[in-house]
Every structure is written in structure tokens, then in C-alpha cells.
Structure 1
């Protein structure tokens, strides 16, 4: 189930970027434009940094014992 959630999330990001790149004149923002708007403000930079730390913790540290578990 976890792989399905990740696939849907990455699929949504790729779809957003694809639509934004196809509709350049419509004002539909790309991911880089959206992140640039957020990072203009110091609070936005701190929020993205906190999100990055949270994502790294939950991806690599919290589940580390699952990656090293004996499958038998």
C-alpha cells in the first residue's frame, strides 16, 4: 500500500509539472515557480527546510530497521 501512495504522489507531481509546461501562457505555475514564490520569504524557507527534515526522517531514519530486517 505504501508503494501505491508514493506512486500516486509522484504521479501527481509529474502531472502538475507536465500540465504547467504545456500551458505556459495560462498562468498555471510550474513547481520551480511555486517553490521560488515560497522561498522568497524567510518563513517559507524555514517551512520547506522543516518539511525536508521531516521527509528525510520518515524515509530513512524511522523505518531503518525495516530495511535491515531478516526476511525469514
Structure 2
């Protein structure tokens, strides 16, 4: 595994950039039918199944971003 996963950072930057562009287009075209991100999430959360899907996606993202690959701090040196 490389020490600095540049490609991973680039993918995350592209995803966040796309999200900001989507939100900006939705806010700039307020009278149009182009939804903002919050409007899309509101449409999903209107239904209980949508809430469960978003919750599962949130748990999955948190697991992969923070827990996977984490090492317990009080454990001795790994050899």
C-alpha cells in the first residue's frame, strides 16, 4: 500500500467537487426544476425505506472512512 494514496485523494476531491457543482447549479436555477442536494435527500427521506437506505449508506461510509484500517492506540507495537 503506498504511503500517500494520491489517487484516493483525487477521487474524493472529484466527488466533493461534483457535489458542490450540483448544489451550485440547483441554487443558481432556483425557479427551474433542477433539485438541490437537500431537496433530493428530502425526497428520499419522505419514505421509511429511504431513511433506512441513507442510514446504511452513512454507516458504510463511516466504517470505510474511520474504522477500517484503524489500530487500537493502547496496543503494543505491532511486529
Fold similarity call, TM over 0.5: yes
Q: 2:44 is matched with which residue: 38, 45, 49? A: 38
Q: Which residue of 2 aligns with 1:54?
A: 60
Gaps of 5+ in 1: 66-72
Q: TM-score, normalised by structure 1?
A: 0.87
Query: Where in structure 1 do 4 or more consecutive aligned residues deviate above 3 Å?
Result: none
Which structure has the larger Rg over C-alpha atoms?
2
Q: CA RMSD in A?
A: 0.7
Q: Which residue of 1 aligns with 2:8?
A: 2
Determine if the alignment matches structure 1 residue 14 to structure 2 residue 57.
no
The size of the alignment, in residue pairs, is 65
Determine if the alignment matches structure 1 residue 28 to structure 2 residue 28.
no
